[in-house]
Amino acid sequence: MGEVMMDKSLRPTAPRNEPIYLDNFSTTPIAPEVAKAIVDAWSLPGNASSPHTMGARAEAIVAEARRDVADLIGAAPNEIVFTSGATEANNLILLGVAQAAVEAGINKRKIVLSSIEHKSVLAPAATLEGRGFEVILVPANDTGVIDMRALAAAVDDQTLLVSVMGANNETGALQPIKEIVAIASKVGAYVHSDCAQLVGKLPIDVLDCGIDYLSLSGHKMYGPMGIGAVFISASALMPKALAFGGGQQTGIRPGTEPVPIIAGLGMAARLAASRMDLDAAHGTLLRNTFLGELTRLNSDVEIITQNSETLPGTVCLKVDGIIADDLVEIIQRDVSISTGSACNSGQVFPSHVLMSMGFSQVIAKSIFRLYFSRYNSKQDAIESAFILARAIDHLRRPTGQARQ
Ligand code: PMP
């Protein structure tokens, strides 16, 4: 492959202090409005359970945020429980619903998940296997969408819970939640959706979808880290709490409410609702600009989701002949991106999501993802395409052809 021919006008010019941040699947920047809401809430002390004016102020902040989060997904405020993030929300639903079923004498012992779920769904499900539950993993096709025929075959009258994410955190591929609910509801199975990546980016209405449980995360929607929420439908089985203490949040998630970051999550929800279409159009524009530039410079990159619907602004690319982790490393001073690989005991394992989509280990290791956020610019898209193209070209050079 030849040297990347570059239109000089597109070369990065201005020195930058920080890399162009495109690792928005991992975490999004905090919105300035959110940062302000956090500082404002933190400007005065107050425990939402305290019986005085300052306690009432804290309680009102929490109540307002609960309403904002509920409004964003079409829920009622009393169906929202704040958690430390989507990991805790997912654990609460998987473990808590299973335990509630056991205690209520419900004999269904089957849990159906997609194989591309986040580990915070897969790991608690694996724990349940040791408690007498059967866990069935439904594969995804090679574009990252759950195989609906396999799902329909897996779900039966012994199924307690079906858990399928709204959008995948490596490919951006959207999952057919409404169709999943239609299948599950025929046999009376509850449906949970880990919507950590989807909420705030695309509209979702829990009533319209008929979902029983939904998880979301602050730091995936321009909110703070360390806060998230779970929607528990008023008509669904109430999960058993995982922790015990004071009676906050009706005991389902006890512990002093972290008022400032709850305020931040509320603001993030309100902002998302007010500019979702704008953000989506912006993300799509930057993604298309980036892909246009990159394919002009390096024609043999492949979008692994092909024509499947994805979150606006996301792109997951396969580049034959490279190791994506090497690419991430050599461009890190200029651009932040990541792969789904996991490092255990010093060994790098390819992503379980990509492997379950049918890619070989070698191919899975050549795949990386990026995500153009609300705060990226068109210049970011153009510059990052150039930087990636140059790095890909460098990685593909046969050894021995060192640059002079
Ligand atoms: N689910 C998905 C789909 C995610 O992308 C993430 C974060 N990578 C999580 C769950 C965990 O979220 P949190 O960091 O809020 O625990």
User: What CA–CA distances, in Å, run from 279 to 174, 275, 313, 327, 376?
Assistant: 17, 6, 9, 28, 10
Residue 218 · residue 199 · CB < 8 Å: no
Helix (H) or strand (E) holding 229: strand 228-232
Ligand 1 neighbourhood includes 114 CB (under 6 angstroms) = no
The token duo for 37 is 């809401």
Tell me the torsion sign for CA atoms 301, 306, 312, 314.
negative
CA of 258 relative to ligand 1 center, distance in Å:
19
pLDDT averages per 10-residue partition of the chain, 404 residues: 45 71 97 98 97 98 98 98 98 98 98 98 97 97 97 98 98 98 98 98 98 98 98 98 96 97 98 98 98 91 94 96 95 95 76 94 95 98 97 82 44
- As a whole number of angstroms, the distance between CA 234 and CA 257 comes to 21
CA of 184 relative to ligand 1 center, distance in Å:
24
Note down the domain range covering 374: 8-30+275-400
Q: Which of 195, 209, 316, 343 is catalytic?
A: 343
Residue 343 annotated among the catalytic residues of the structure: yes
Residues 6+ apart with CB under 8 A from 209: 177, 178, 181, 193
pLDDT at site 88: 98
pLDDT at site 15: 60
The answer as to whether 367 is a domain residue is yes
Residue nearest ligand 1's atom 8 by CA: 26
pLDDT at site 17: 84
> How many CB atoms are located within 10 Å of the residue 129 CB?
11
Ligand 1 neighbourhood includes 165 CB (under 6 angstroms) = yes
Where a domain ends, among 227, 253, 271? 271
Residue nearest ligand 1's atom 15 by CA: 85
Same domain, 231 and 312: no
CA of 122 relative to ligand 1 center, distance in Å:
12
Same domain, 173 and 25: no
Ligand 1 neighbourhood includes 110 CB (under 6 angstroms) = no
Residue nearest ligand 1's atom 12 by CA: 86
Q: Which atom of ligand 1 is nearest to the CA of 120?
A: 10
pLDDT at site 9: 46
Q: Which atom of ligand 1 is nearest to the CA of 26?
A: 8
**How many domains are there within the chain?**
2
Q: Which atom of ligand 1 is nearest to the CA of 217?
A: 15
> Among 327, 323, 341, 326, which residue's Cα sits nearest to residue 294?
327
pLDDT at site 340: 85
- As a whole number of angstroms, the distance between CA 261 and CA 19 comes to 27
Where a domain ends, among 245, 271, 297? 271
Ligand 1 neighbourhood includes 373 CB (under 6 angstroms) = no
pLDDT at site 289: 98
Q: For the domain that residue 312 is a member of, what is the CATH number?
A: 3.90.1150.10
Ligand 1 neighbourhood includes 24 CB (under 6 angstroms) = no
Residue 328 · residue 334 · CB < 8 Å: no
Same domain, 183 and 194: yes
Where a domain ends, among 231, 256, 271? 271
Using DSSP's 3-state secondary structure scheme, residue 221 falls into coil
Ligand 1 neighbourhood includes 87 CB (under 6 angstroms) = yes
Using DSSP's 3-state secondary structure scheme, residue 366 falls into coil
Same domain, 306 and 279: yes
Residue 249 region, left (φ>0) first, then alpha (ψ -120 to 50), else beta? left
Same domain, 307 and 170: no
pLDDT at site 11: 47
The token duo for 360 is 């070989």
Residue 212 · residue 191 · CB < 8 Å: yes
CA of 85 relative to ligand 1 center, distance in Å:
7
Ligand 1 neighbourhood includes 217 CB (under 6 angstroms) = yes
Residue nearest ligand 1's atom 5 by CA: 169
Using DSSP's 3-state secondary structure scheme, residue 184 falls into helix
Mutation pick for ligand 1 pocket among 122, 194, 198, 217 (CB with most ligand atoms within 8 Å)? 217
The answer as to whether 2 is a domain residue is no
Same domain, 288 and 246: no
Same domain, 75 and 137: yes
First to last CA, the chain: 17
